[in-house]
Amino acid sequence: MRNQAVVLLAAVIIVLITWGLSNSFDVLEEAGYILGFNDNHQIKATFQRAYSITGPKCSLTRVCPSDHFALRISSGAANVVGPKICFDGKILMSNVMNNVGPGLNIVVVNGTNGQVEKCGYLNMDTGKAEYILAYLKEIRPGMIVLVASFDDVTPKMTDEMREVFVGMGSTLIKSVKHRDSWVFAGKAGTENRTLFEKQAVNDEKTNIYEGWPEIVEIAGCIPRTLTLKNRRI
């Protein structure tokens, strides 16, 4: 009788453990629908240097001032070749690194020290709109936000999401339509128009690829976020 009780208890424990693991995997899978790669502690070791120590960073033609960061962002090509994001001389996202995905490929950087806070992609096809919006709204003021489109970014795009990007300095996001290419770099918490944004419209008369527009790219030096310590008087 005692042996039967032990066996029954063991069976119950196994069922509970299996249920717990199943729920954990469900949570992880659901998160994967939103962000394909979001643990910056895991990806820091894989960042690739893209510049000589003393030369221009991110393949720019000149060295950025000390109070600026170098950047270069390229959109994806159709739904075949993924985008590429370089910041402060480090390639953060690319096809080669295998950390890009369909939708909005996004890097969130501390605007003061240049440290990468988040890096991944928002799946605008299978992701849940409410989770995507919550992710965007959680980006703190002063953060530098780098975005590159890959595939179609509009299926789950809402007006409220577009307004979040407007609040980062975007002037083109409201006009981004089905299969358009779009790249952007701005700062959360500012409505000042960014100088780093470009869009290629999906138009069968001008499309480079069958049913898709050309790649768009932006590059340059973006100012650091000023604090009381580094603000010039």
pLDDT single digits (tens) 90-115: 999 999 999 999 999 999 999 999 99
Judgement on whether residues 130 and 189 belong to the same structural domain of the protein: yes
Residues facing 68 on adjacent strands: 223
Lowest mean pLDDT among 30-34, 158-162, 182-186: 30-34
Judgement on whether residues 161 and 185 belong to the same structural domain of the protein: yes
Nearest to 168 by CA among 147, 190, 185: 190
What per-residue confidence (pLDDT) applies to 205? 93
C-alpha span between 186 and 95 (Å, rounded): 23
What per-residue confidence (pLDDT) applies to 193? 95
Q: Which domain holds residue 12?
A: 1-34
Going through 123-158 in order, the beta strands assigned E by DSSP cover 144-150
Judgement on whether residues 138 and 197 belong to the same structural domain of the protein: yes
Mean pLDDT in the chain? 83
pLDDT single digits (tens) 51-88: 555 689 999 999 999 999 999 999 999 889 999 999 99
pLDDT single digits (tens) 78-89: 889 999 999 999
More confident residue, 85 or 29: 85
- Is residue 228 domain-resident? no
Inter-CA distances, 92 with 10, 131, 160, Å: 47, 23, 27
What is the DSSP secondary structure assignment for residue 65, as one 8-state letter? P
Judgement on whether residues 29 and 71 belong to the same structural domain of the protein: no
Judgement on whether residues 16 and 65 belong to the same structural domain of the protein: no
Query: 53 Cβ partners below 8 Å, 6+ apart?
Result: none
Judgement on whether residues 167 and 119 belong to the same structural domain of the protein: yes
Judgement on whether residues 42 and 55 belong to the same structural domain of the protein: yes
This prediction has a pTM of: 0.80
Split into its structural domains, the chain has a count of 2
More confident residue, 10 or 186: 186
Both tokens of 192, joined, read 């000042």
Angle at 197 between CA 200 and CA 161, to 5 degrees: 90
C-alpha span between 127 and 38 (Å, rounded): 14
